Amino acid sequence: MKRPQIIHLVDDTTAGGVMRLLEYICTDPDMGRNAHHSLRVVRKGALSMRRIKADVIVSHLSVSWRTLPALISLRALHADTPLVHVEHSYTQSFTALNVAKKDRFLTLLRIGYAMFDHLVAVSQAQARWMFRHRLADLGALSVISPTVPLASFAALPAPKGPPRTIGAMGRLDRQKGFDLLIPAFRQIAAPDARLIFYGEGPERARLTALAEGDPRIVFAGHSDSPEAAMQSVDAIAMPSRWEAYGLVALEARAAGRPVLVSGIDGLKDQIADGATPVRNYTVEGWSAALQSLLNGDIPAAPRPDAALQSVEFARQWDQLFRGFQQQTPVVLSAAKA
């Protein structure tokens, strides 16, 4: 039987979680067993699309008023092709903190999402937000959390003793809350503690100024090896202001590292799987949590099964694609209101 051709569309190829996920989807043997996956880059801001020959088209595109004409074009050119959209960006906290005209924004999402036959949320929390605001019908909404190869993280030895080096990984951007993490860390009088940032972004100059030359705080820049970066730290801190899923938390759990997270959006899913929440989103709250971490009072979550994670991820996508072939509704994970 011929494997269906699945084309994945992306318009932002910046190094990060989305591109790592797409590389995984296109190269993982479990994903390739029942379908052939390939990637196509779409020029951001394009007003129209070209006809794409595929059995299913999966969008990882941004949804905005600017990109709406291209999404309408995509639908018009592929009236008989199942279209799926994966929402990597928008969440309840994103909307609360970044959107002034919320009704207008939600209207945009309803119009944009209506161009697709099925919507994929990357976390249960995101799916509940979507369903609560009527952004998708329950029967056309699934939850498939991202993954990447975890075997190399699972092979890392767990740190011995209380953590001394705390890692903060991701784009140096307001989203990640690193501007709160630095003063929280600086309140701790532990000369042997270290805070290492892996990543680049527009907030680097501001974050460097906040560090004020504290020799315990290191900006290591972008790492081509997430596994090597993870190996260099004993624990992970994620004080994100919004986060659709939080791939770093999954990798940290696979590596046997304790994980501190803010209790928002997709990080709620990480908490359900063993990450430790910091409920008090203040410098003082995070400083107290970091101190508990350095004291050895916060354990690592159980490591996920890397092989099972890969098989389950492929099974969920395969079930979605088979649903289109059978022309029956598919719900992989019900999003409760």
pLDDT tens sequence across 190-228: 999 999 999 999 999 999 999 998 999 999 999 999 999
- Kindly give the interhelix angle for 178-186 and 283-294, rounded to the nearest 10 degrees: 60
pLDDT tens sequence across 70-83: 999 999 999 999 99
| 301 inside domain | no
| 281 inside domain | yes
pLDDT tens sequence across 17-36: 999 999 999 999 999 999 99
Q: Which of 40-44, 264-268, 331-335 has the lowest mean pLDDT?
A: 331-335
Q: What are phi and psi of 149, to 5 degrees?
A: -60, 125
Q: Are residues 157 and 144 in the same domain?
A: no
The residue with tokens 């969008």 is 59
| 183 inside domain | yes
Q: Are residues 138 and 238 in the same domain?
A: no
pLDDT tens sequence across 238-273: 999 999 999 999 999 999 999 999 999 999 999 999
CATH number at residue 188: 3.40.50.2000
Query: Residue 8: what pLDDT?
Result: 98
| 302 inside domain | no
The residue range of the domain holding 109 is 5-148+308-326
| 48 inside domain | yes
Tally the C-alpha atoms within 13 A of residue 205's C-alpha that lie toward its C-beta.
1
Q: Quick check: 178 and 201 in contact, CB under 8 A?
A: no
Q: What is the mean pLDDT of the chain?
A: 94
Q: Above 50 in pLDDT, residue 328?
A: no
Query: Model pTM?
Result: 0.93
